[in-house]
Amino acid sequence: MRKPFIWLLLAAVLCGILSTAVAEAPEKAGQSVNVMGAFTVSAEIPQGYTFEGNYVSDILYYGTLTPKDPAYPVAIITIAFDEEADGRSIGDLTEEQISGMIAQDTAALGEHVEFSEAETAHGTKLLVYNILDEEEARFEIYTLYRGYQIGCVILPGQGQTMTQELLKMAVDFLSNVWITE
């Protein structure tokens, strides 16, 4: 289902657009992205960060959250249409289908990978890959929404390591992202 080359190509593309539940929009919107006319993803930009996003093609969008302080993590968000998903969201998949995706992704990411699951405050299931390779340490967080792969890559800040606190911060950020039709 997932094409691993997208992650390798975009290894640095941010974490943010992951609520499969349509939540009420907060009073103060920071950034909104219309995803190929299918839905809109919105999030507040965290204090101390700037956001830059663009379409690579008509089926691939990426955005980068860059911190003003290099000691803070960088987040990269990708949204890519997936023909094989056939319009489904992660909640529509069977455990067997999800297990197959996890096995395929883990194999593609190499031997220094730990897998876990997380969930946003809205109940969106997230697949989390902790890449432990010292030179390429990062979290890759992924979900599927209406046939679109929505992913977030978290890269550690200068001199920092990947921690569970950093993962919690990313999941909390993703919990505050909203999708409107």
Tens of pLDDT, residues 24-64 = 333 443 788 888 888 888 888 888 899 998 888 888 898 99
Domains of the chain are: 4-24+31-180 (3.40.1000)
- The Cα-based distances of 61 to 6, 20, 50, 106, 125 in angstroms read 11, 18, 17, 23, 21
Query: Whole-angstrom Cα distance, residue 127 to residue 123?
Result: 13
> Is pLDDT of 8 > 80?
no
Q: Which two tokens stand for residue 166?
A: 């950093």
Using only the alpha carbons of the chain, give its radius of gyration: 15
